[in-house]
Every structure is written in C-alpha cells, then in structure tokens.
Amino acid sequence: MDAVAAPQAIDFRTEPARYKHWRIELRDNVAYLIMDVDPNGGLVPGYELKLNSYDLAVDIELHDAVQRLRFEHPEVGAVVLQSGKDNVFSAGANIRMLGQSSHGHKVNFCKFTNETRLAIEDATENSGQTYLCAVNGPAAGGGYELALTAAHIMLIDDRRSSVSLPETPLLAVLPGTGGLTRLTDKRRVRRDLADVFCTTEEGVRGKKAVAWRLVDEAIPPSAWAETVAKRAREAAARSDRPRDEKGITLTRLERREEPHQLHYRYLSVVCEPEKHRATITLRTPTEALPASLEEAVARGDRFWPLALAREFDDAILHLRFNAPELGLWVLRTEGDPAAVLAHDAFLEAHKSHWLMREIRLFLKRVLKRLDVTSRSLIALIEPGSCFAGSLAELAFAADRSVMFAGQRAGDNRSPATLTLGPANFGCYPMGNGLTRLATRFYGEPESLTRAEAAIGQALEADAASELGLVTFAFDEADWDDEIRIMLEERASFSPDALTGMEANLRFAGPETMETRIFGRLTAWQNWIFQRPNAAGAEGALGRYGSGIKPDFDYNRV
C-alpha cells in the first residue's frame, strides 16, 4: 500500500467553512466555541455521533479551531467552550466508534485528542487566551475531560446536569484523555473523592460538584447566560493580547503528493515502506529575514518559522495516522544554519509581540508532538544540513543522532556542523518542563553548562561529540555502512517494545501533569484497551449498548 497517497488518508487540514461539528461566535473579545456535533458527520460509517459524542473528525476541527483562534484572532482574550445542543454538553468519545476501531487508531486518536487539550491549556497559560467551559448539560467522560482543560468550569445547576467520568463502571476502561490526572493534579480533587467520582456512573451535580472541586461554580439556569458572558468578559479583560490588531489567516496548507512522497514548501517526506522508513527533510527559507516586525507580520503564514511549523505538524499527524508501518523516521535538514539562527534571534527580539509569541509557542507544541510520537527517531547531521538553534532541537528530540565527520570525496561542501543557540536553552521545553538539552544531560549538569558556553559555535563532529550533543560521529569510511546497518537493525526490532522503550527513555527527570497524562495514563489505558475485559468479544466495549452485561475475568493482573 502506498502509505503517503492512500486514498482514504485522514486529512488534518480543515477550516471553519468546512466544519460540521463546531462553530465560532465572536463577541466582546470573547470567542464562543460551540460544539454541535453532526451525528452523521463521523470520520467513517458505522456509528452515529449522538449527544455531542465525538470521534477524530470532531477533534480535527477542534484542533483547527483552537489554532485559528490563536493566530487569526489577537483580539480574542477568552474562549468559552460550550455545547450547541439543549440538555447535553458532551457524552465524550463515541463508544461504538471505539468499539469498531483498531487498537492503533484508538491510541492515535487519544494521543491527538490529548495534544489538542494540552494546546488549550497552553493557550490559557501562555497565549493570553483563557479558556472557560460552560457545561450547559451533562458532561460525561471525554466531555468532562474537555471541560477539565478550561481554567474555569461553570456547571448549570438545573438539578439534572452532572459531570462524570463513567468509564470504569460503564465501559471497563479509563478516562483516556487526561481525566484522572487532571482531577488530582490540576483540580486537586482529593483522591478518595476522585475514586468515588470515577466509579459513580451518573456523576456529580451542582453544589457537590463545586465542593469536590470538580467544577468552579454551579449557576442556576436563570443566571446562566449572563454569568457565562460576564466571566468570559472578565477573563478577556485580563488578557494581554492586542485588541486592535488584525490576525493573520492560516491559509490551506499546500502539499504535493507523489507516490511514496509528500512535498511541502519547506519540508519533504520520502517513504520507503519496505524498509519501514520515512525520511523527513526540513529546509531553510527561500526568502530573506524580514527587515522589520511589520514585514514579518505581513508575511503571515508564509513567514518561514510559522510555515515550517505548520508543515511539520501536518506531516507528523499525517504519518502517524496514515503510515503506521513506517516505524522509523529519519530526520534531516537542508540549508543555511545562519538563516535558522537569524530567525531564532528575530523571534527572540520580538517575543513580546503576540504573533511572534504564538509562533514560538506553536514550534514548542510541534516539537512536543514529535517527542510523544511512537516512532524511532534518528537524526542524521550531514554536510549541507542546518541543525542550528531551533532546528537543532530535532537532533535532541531524536532517540539517536549521528553526525558526518569531515567531508566526502568529491563533495566540496564544508563539513556538517551543529550550532547551539539561546533557543536550545529555554523557549522550547518538553512536556517534563525541561529543555531537551537539560533532559539529555539530566545526570550531568556540567555538560549542560559546557553546552551553553558553546552557543554560537559551529561545532563540527568531533566537538559536538565531545560535548555529548550527538550519539555517534562517523567519517566517510564508515558512514554509509554504519547508517545502513543502524537503520536496518532498528527497523527489525519489535515495534511495541521500541514504542515502550523510547517513551521511557525520552522523558528523563521530573514528572509533570503532561508527562503523567502521556506516560502513566496512556500506558494503562492502552493496556486496558487490549484486555478481554474491555476489548474481548464478551468485554464491556463490545457489549456496550447491547444491554448485555460483559463477562469479566476477575483475576487481578
């Protein structure tokens, strides 16, 4: 199968005019992001998205909306998540969809959903765009998990609407998008109350939900609309986003699909299915650095760092969902390291400008997406490459990096270099809160200090190796064989074992809510998703909706 140009490939590119499940209403510097899922608008046939339940199609739109609100609406200081349906907020991920999906799809779906929800929290925390949630009906499972991403949760107190995480009693699985973790880590719900909450199918309503810190306030219907609008205006008033500036437009991302190849303006993917390998090459800009902030803003989504971030994000998602058999990603760069560093410096110089800030935050999220991708990542640092500053993060995100030492006979390009910049020391942290270099040198702080001292130096292979910045350095005599053997060997291991091993090794150091969501929770969830009690013929997911009770194997593992 041609992985890249598969006919039913999932496409993450969308825009509000194409939305089936969400709409955005703007008033008073507030965006109302309204979930109104079209039951017949699922990604594939076989299930109906009733009661604002969702599948990947719904989440692709949410992802797009969250992104657009940041870039296209500098005037929006608060976003209210709410339901467009009477009497229900959201019933969570669609169970029949989960029941009929492959394990791989479920995991990919949960991961993407998690990433979008973290992006929502990132907007509140770093972007001056505070998310509030107006729970105007029952919010169950993923519906409540969506609410949990908001900085302020309002629950309508109509004696009927509840928030709930009914996964365990109802479905024999876990709330898979951070629900458990956010309860204890973000909402600081007491663990025994969380235990009761997570085993009570009908959930918790009104004042009790407030008392248990499941929501921030319970509001009677007669005061509902007014209070929601008021809270949103208050949050918007606290924002540092510029009310009088115009946003940029995120135009439809152009990409050219060829057999086994995918080409964007600054990024290409070449797939070799027989080798289980995709090679991703990122390139430096064709345009000169903008002369001024105004010029950068005028370039909009053509401005290189943003354009590249969008392309890389799309390529990662595309390969994750549509090419699961390509387990090995080779990361390459091409271009002038000075151009990368100049753009980094430009972003740094204008970091308080809303758009430059957004671009850096977006780059941060794309790199995080790479961190949690279940593919072996190998960075190849070759002559002609530009692993400098922000692009050097690719080498530090990779499970291994290999650098070409010296020159090839007949190639008059100068030797490969790796150049550190300030961007490697703060603005693109990983999910664990540390930079990739700090994570890399978790046990050796002196190495981090030495690396910092090398900022700005174009390090050739020996120096980079000496500083511990690359895994191996090979010269022309060894390069071709070593690389071939390394990649072949990697591709031969069990994909499952590699996924687990890489996820363990990538996130050294402290746990954060984010690492707990991706690590602890998804590992458990993915285990449960494989177990007969959930996924077997007599398990809870398969029997859901039939009324027939699942038959559990009561042995604890």
| Residue 243 near another protein by CB under 8 A | no
| Residue 26 near another protein by CB under 8 A | no
Take residue 316 and report the two structure tokens written for it: 């990662």
Which of 8, 102, 222, 492 lies at the binding interface for another protein (CB under 8 A)?
A: 222
Confirm if 439 and 507 have CB atoms less than 8 A apart. yes
Closest Cα to residue 52, out of 15, 19, 24, 93? 93
399, HSE (Cβ side, Cα atoms, 13 Å): 22
| Residue 144 near another protein by CB under 8 A | no
Q: Say which residues have a Cβ less than 8 Å from residue 198's Cβ, sequence separation at least 6.
A: 165, 167, 168, 175, 179, 180, 183
Residue 51 vs 330, nearer CB to another protein: 51
Take residue 20 and report the two structure tokens written for it: 């089936």
| Residue 167 near another protein by CB under 8 A | no
| Residue 456 near another protein by CB under 8 A | no
- State how far Cα 313 lies from the chain centre: 9
Least distance from another protein to the Cβ atom of residue 223, Å: 8
Take residue 164 and report the two structure tokens written for it: 């709930």
> Rounded to whole angstroms, how far apart are CA atoms 79 and 124?
9
| # residues contacting another protein (CB under 8 A) | 18
- Interacting span for another protein (CB under 8 A) from 8-16, 103-111, 157-165, 422-430: 157-165
Which of 46, 104, 456, 545 lies at the binding interface for another protein (CB under 8 A)?
A: 545
Helix axes 304-322, 337-349, angle to 10 degrees: 110
Closest Cα to residue 531, out of 555, 496, 502? 555
| Residue 212 near another protein by CB under 8 A | no
Least distance from another protein to the Cβ atom of residue 222, Å: 5
Which of 55, 121, 157, 393 lies at the binding interface for another protein (CB under 8 A)?
A: 157
| Residue 287 near another protein by CB under 8 A | no
Which residues, listed in sequence order, are joined to residue 33 by a DSSP beta bridge?
A: 24, 81
| Residue 426 near another protein by CB under 8 A | no
- Interacting span for another protein (CB under 8 A) from 152-160, 243-251, 252-260, 484-492: 152-160
| Residue 41 near another protein by CB under 8 A | no
Take residue 50 and report the two structure tokens written for it: 């009733």
- Site residues (CB under 8 A) for another protein, limited to 184-203: 200-202
Which of 102, 412, 492, 546 lies at the binding interface for another protein (CB under 8 A)?
A: 546
Least distance from another protein to the Cβ atom of residue 123, Å: 32
| Residue 46 near another protein by CB under 8 A | no
Which of 159, 238, 246, 302 lies at the binding interface for another protein (CB under 8 A)?
A: 159
Residue 210 vs 455, nearer CB to another protein: 210
**Distance between start and end Cα atoms, the chain:** 38
Residue 2 vs 158, nearer CB to another protein: 158
- Interacting span for another protein (CB under 8 A) from 219-227, 258-266, 317-325, 501-509: 219-227
Tally of CB atoms within 10 A around 225: 12
Residues that bind another protein (CB under 8 A): 40, 157-160, 169, 200-202, 220-222, 544-549
